[in-house]
Structure 1
Amino acid sequence: MGKFLTELNEELVHFIHKQHMFFTATAPSNQGRINLSPKGYDCLKIINTKSIIYLDYAGSGNETANHIKDNQKITLMWNSFDQKPLILRIYGYGEVIEKHTENYLTLMEEYYPEIDPNSARQIFRIRIEAVQTSCGYGVPLMDYNEDRDVMMKWTNTKVSQGKLDEYIDKHGARLDEKHPINNNDI
């Protein structure tokens, strides 16, 4: 039986820390597509029972940031793939912490000290509105092997060449007026 809570509890925090992957979902206010993305690595940090952040690496687009700038709504979801089934969703309101800002650098230093601040695109801060658990009985049992290293190798190469920000600009993956995502083109 599913439950709704207003914040994370100790059991759910422990569950999140055990997971190797989560999903984010956002949507624009107007017509347009829902963006659903898997996230890996150790990019998510729990600030407190009502607030989390996650480090966002460069990709092919920046729909999550554009949607958050539009309406702030974001949902995160975790699945248990081991013997004890559980699905956890967090419904919240997001904020984009843009790269190279003072707030970004402070969060990087405090929560990601081992990561080069130049290697990410931005940080998302999520204020938790509601937490929902559900059974997860239909989720398959799967074993975790390891994180893929492809994205980190690619990112580290771009950073070492001083070309990550150039890539983000060229491929429209930066949040700004120069590269808005037109959700009406669907």
Structure 2
Amino acid sequence: MGKIYDRLTDRLREFVSTQPVYFVGTAPAGGGHVNVSPKGYADTFTVIDDTTVAYLDLDGSGVETIAHIRDNGRITIMFCAFNGSPKVVRLYGTGRVVTPHDPGFGELITRFGPHPGVRSIIVVTCDRIADSCGFSVPFMAYEQDRTYLDEWASRKDVRQRRDYRARNNRESIDGLPALAAEETDPATITSNRGTA
């Protein structure tokens, strides 16, 4: 039923790049809460090379993924087909957090569409790429992206976004450190060409 791959083939790249939603799973070392986050917006995920992918980490109510990656690096990204062939693809690997203040952020951000609430970019080096059947995944029709997150971030100025991150994104629900004080400054993304 399932197969393990040593790289992201053209067929797998096509599959993961066309799914309107994907799920990110992380967990802290030594116990604590496992976290699974749904991600949307087609222009927030990219395949960098045969074993490396990245996605935009946008403002949100929690910061579990950043905290867990900084704790132990473990991450799994799952894609499943809600139409067409019943397929599930999981990318297991080691993640790293790239903030707007880190070297390489400016180059990475050009791979994504413009979004007002960019917190970081999560880069994942895959050590296991596997597919499996999605025989029990229901058929569902994609209508459109929800624009609420971008609209919410657009209504906030830099200071308001900084204050929000300082209140809500400094540590995980288990008390693990996430964004440092200097990382709460939001990036201003004006186009898929970089930062302003």
For Structure 1 versus Structure 2, the TM-score category normalised by the shorter chain is 0.7 to 0.9
| 2:22 corresponds to 1:25 | no
| 2:162 corresponds to 1:169 | no
SS at 2:25 equivalent? strand
What is the CA distance between 1:48 and its match in structure 2? 0.8
Residues 166 and 66 from structure 1, CA distance in 2 versus in 1: closer, same or farther, beyond 3 angstroms?
Answer: same
Aligned to 1:107: 108
Q: Distance in 2 between matches of 1:58 and 1:65?
A: 12
- Asked if structure 2 preserves the Cα contact closer than 8 Å seen for 1:28 and 1:67, the reply is yes
Q: Which blocks of at least 5 consecutive residues in structure 2 are unaligned?
A: 177-196
Q: Distance in 2 between matches of 1:127 and 1:144?
A: 29
Q: Deviations over 1:73-100 (max 9, x none)?
A: 1000001011311000000100010233
How well do the aligned residues superpose, as a CA RMSD in angstroms?
A: 1.7
- Asked if structure 1 preserves the Cα contact closer than 8 Å seen for 2:79 and 2:89, the reply is yes
Aligned to 1:6: 6
Aligned to 1:153: 151
- Asked if structure 2 preserves the Cα contact closer than 8 Å seen for 1:28 and 1:183, the reply is no
TM-score when normalising by structure 1: 0.88
What is the CA distance between 1:105 and its match in structure 2? 2.5
- Asked if structure 1 preserves the Cα contact closer than 8 Å seen for 2:99 and 2:105, the reply is yes
Q: Distance in 1 between matches of 2:77 and 2:119?
A: 19
Q: Which blocks of at least 5 consecutive residues in structure 1 are unaligned?
A: none
Q: Deviations over 1:4-30 (max 9, x none)?
A: 112210100011121101000000111
| 2:182 corresponds to 1:182 | no
Q: Distance in 1 between matches of 2:90 and 2:107?
A: 28
- Give the 4+ runs in structure 1 shifted more than 6 A: none
- Asked if structure 2 preserves the Cα contact closer than 8 Å seen for 1:22 and 1:38, the reply is yes
Q: Distance in 2 between matches of 1:43 and 1:180?
A: 23
Q: Distance in 1 between matches of 2:96 and 2:28?
A: 15
- Asked if structure 1 preserves the Cα contact closer than 8 Å seen for 2:21 and 2:39, the reply is yes
- Asked if structure 1 preserves the Cα contact closer than 8 Å seen for 2:92 and 2:128, the reply is yes
- Asked if structure 2 preserves the Cα contact closer than 8 Å seen for 1:95 and 1:124, the reply is yes
Aligned to 1:68: 69
What is the CA distance between 1:134 and its match in structure 2? 0.5
Residues 11 and 168 from structure 1, CA distance in 2 versus in 1: closer, same or farther, beyond 3 angstroms?
Answer: same
SS at 1:28 equivalent? coil
- Asked if structure 1 preserves the Cα contact closer than 8 Å seen for 2:93 and 2:126, the reply is yes
- Asked if structure 2 preserves the Cα contact closer than 8 Å seen for 1:6 and 1:128, the reply is no
Aligned residue pairs: how many? 175
